[in-house]
Amino acid sequence: MQKYVAYYRVSTQKQGQSGLGLEGQQQAVAAYCEPVEAFTEVETGTNKRQRPELLKAIAACKRLGATLVIAKLDRLARNVHFVSGLMESGIEFVACDNPQANRLTIHILAAVAEDEARRISERTKAALAAYKARGGELGNPKNLTTKAAKKGNAANVAAAEKHRAEVLPVAQKLRDAGRTLTEIAETLTGRGLLTRRGKAWSATAVSRLLG
């Protein structure tokens, strides 16, 4: 019987604690197979490149003669060289969102995912620049003195409601379409629909928005 070792990845410590994104990955893997072991990577600024849990998962695959299973290819890495290095480790791995993919297909999909990550980064930078050009102020709100703050709480509440009315329908439509909180965050940011404070969306922020 084929054995599988599951590997899950979330991007921040806070996201790992809340389970945002993790539950969806676990459900996708459970629908595909019953892993004998599972490893969850909670990436931080210090371990983002090393991915210690992935190394443990690879070691488990070699020890058990198992296949590494992931929910989605972009959960593994948005980097062609990283995927290539994993393939050179000698273990087999499969992505639940494309289980028929062969090695060439995986290289192509990884390249597409890497390119999309780059485009999202570029769109985020452009959106932030446009926001700043319109008079928005970037940085920690506690350290900023804005005209809105001087006009009092009523103006802030009105601005917040207006922003929510613009963004919420888009986020809700994506949620109804089955998109994850992380995917919604990336889509909103990519479209230039930043948070009210002019920052890129996070899965946690989207969760608060959707209530």
Residue type, 35: P
CA-CA-CA-CA torsion sign (121, 124, 128, 129): positive
Judge contact between 198 and 133, C-beta under 8 A.
no
Active-site residue, 89 included: no
CB 67 within 8 A of CB 92: yes
Q: DSSP secondary-structure letter at 66?
A: P
Placement of tokens 């994506």 in the chain: 174
Please answer whether residues 81 and 106 qualify as being in contact, where contact means their C-beta atoms are separated by less than 8 angstroms: no
Find the catalytic residue in 11, 89, 121, 202.
11
Helix, strand and coil in the chain, % to nearest 5: 60, 10, 30
Long-range CB pairs of 123-126 (<8 Å, 24+ gap) are: 123/189, 123/190, 123/191, 123/192, 124/189, 124/190, 124/200, 126/192
Catalytic residues: 11
